[in-house]
Chains A and B, each alone.
Chain A
């Protein structure tokens, strides 16, 4: 049974595409056939983050308009078997997305894939609406700051009312929280909300906390899903989050400040 996952946030720049790429790569590495779709028509970026921008021929909108077959538009990842990317069109805008068209593409993908990840654009307009409309699960990406939390809260309201599951009165979309760009030292100084603060406001299950890391930026620039950077904190945090997503119990790491060399020598275990 295919599961459709929307990666969403409301606010822009919080790490939706990074998370979509990481989860797609993580699920595929775990042997699940996974397709990831860029819903950010007109401002596509998933192809860059996944490092397949030079192989884009057809895109999501071409498939919706019947100008290309789905198989022609899907880009096979070169690193991980069973991982495919459906890029957005850069020359069109969100109005090119139609409910029927999106449904048709998702139905066709469902015949072949275990997971379909919908990388939502920022905002709550057409692109974001259609990215979440058919979802079974939602990963809500939030930065630990008030405006991001408020936007996520708004998106949670829409997930509960504006999705197909909500409209049909089916079991609601499973919502889980991923806090990204988390800097424990700044939380300590009161410059950032703590994970507890964020969770108290949003009141949904915590899937993971991704620490602020330069690795994320470097990985994005080199077109490498950060989850494949197995030695970095951020990569490991994403691996944990994917494992939890697949039902494994893992303790949350990276919630406290990293200890220095002395701390590590004398303070016992440290991440």
Chain B
């Protein structure tokens, strides 16, 4: 999308700009709104601030044929009551058009999932890959500071003090000493990992599975490690 400024004799009072953004998609796999809302509350109880005022795209595609506009409207009420901001529906088709018109939401037709990794065979130029740039922090992260990389990785080049908190939807990399908290995959990405040069964290967590400092083995302290999730267990493994 290109930015567009409308020429006018007087100074423009606004301009329109296109921006690439990462959006959170709520994919509906059931029309049972009550259960959905209950499960959503459980998720939000774990991390209330993460979802506050979050613009949401709803993907009703899997259940679009059975979903009535009134059910969808009821869901929207519940979402807004929880300070979430549903902005659009994702997908295409008659059912979706109907739902969108009746609930006043927009439609995002082209919004794709993150593409599957593709192998480049050398013949054609590689397909355009959409990726979310990571957030890079140069300064030390001090006690009491909280940094959240929404939608991507978080890279900290300095150290992270006790009482500081790092959050990322993707991986977390810390190139100084990690002495605070690091929570990767906070939106539930179980593939997320934490990499650090010197592990002295107060707490490490991936997709909600956490360990406090006390549970981290003495042998892993102060070392270069990666932390990942396998099943329901966090593993700390030396790097290199």
A contact residues vs B (CB 8 Å cutoff): 150-151, 153-154, 156-158, 160-161, 200-201, 203
Interface of B is mostly: loop
Q: Chain B CB within 10 Å — which of A153, A158, A200 has the most?
A: A153
B171 at the interface (CB under 8 A from A): no
Interface of A is mostly: helix
- Pull 12 A–B residue pairs with CB atoms less than 8 Å apart, ordered by A: A150-B143, A150-B161, A150-B162, A150-B163, A153-B162, A154-B142, A157-B142, A157-B145, A157-B164, A160-B139, A201-B159, A201-B161
CB distance from B137 to the nearest CB of A (A): 11
Contact partners of A203 in chain B: CB under 8 A: 140, 158-159
Contact partners of A157 in chain B: CB under 8 A: 141-145, 164
Given A153, A161, A200, which contacts B143 in the complex, CB threshold below 8 Å?
Answer: A153
CB distance from B226 to the nearest CB of A (A): 23
Q: With A and B bound together, what is the CA distance between A10 and B232 in angstroms?
A: 40
Contact partners of A200 in chain B: CB under 8 A: 177
Beta-carbon contacts under 8 Å, B155-179 to A: 158-159, 161-164, 177, 179
CB distance from A224 to the nearest CB of B (A): 35
CB distance from A14 to the nearest CB of B (A): 16
CB distance from B22 to the nearest CB of A (A): 24
Known: A154-B144, A161-B145. 10 other contacts (CB 8 A): A150-B161, A150-B162, A150-B163, A153-B162, A153-B163, A157-B143, A160-B142, A201-B159, A203-B140, A203-B159
CB distance from A166 to the nearest CB of B (A): 11
* 6 closest residue pairs by CB, A with B: A157-B142, A153-B143, A154-B143, A154-B144, A153-B161, A157-B145
Q: With A and B bound together, what is the CA distance between A201 and B159 in angstroms?
A: 8
Contact partners of B161 in chain A: CB under 8 A: 150, 153, 201
Who on chain A is nearest to B140 by CB?
A: A203
Beta-carbon contacts under 8 Å, B162-214 to A: 162-164, 177, 179
CB distance from B161 to the nearest CB of A (A): 5
CB distance from B221 to the nearest CB of A (A): 15
Contact partners of A153 in chain B: CB under 8 A: 142-143, 161-163
Q: With A and B bound together, what is the CA distance between A150 and B142 in angstroms?
A: 9
CB distance from B115 to the nearest CB of A (A): 37
Contact partners of B141 in chain A: CB under 8 A: 157
Who on chain A is nearest to B161 by CB?
A: A153
Contact partners of B159 in chain A: CB under 8 A: 201, 203
Q: With A and B bound together, what is the CA distance between A94 and B177 in angstroms?
A: 37
Q: With A and B bound together, what is the CA distance between A124 and B177 in angstroms?
A: 25
CB distance from A108 to the nearest CB of B (A): 33
CB distance from B144 to the nearest CB of A (A): 4
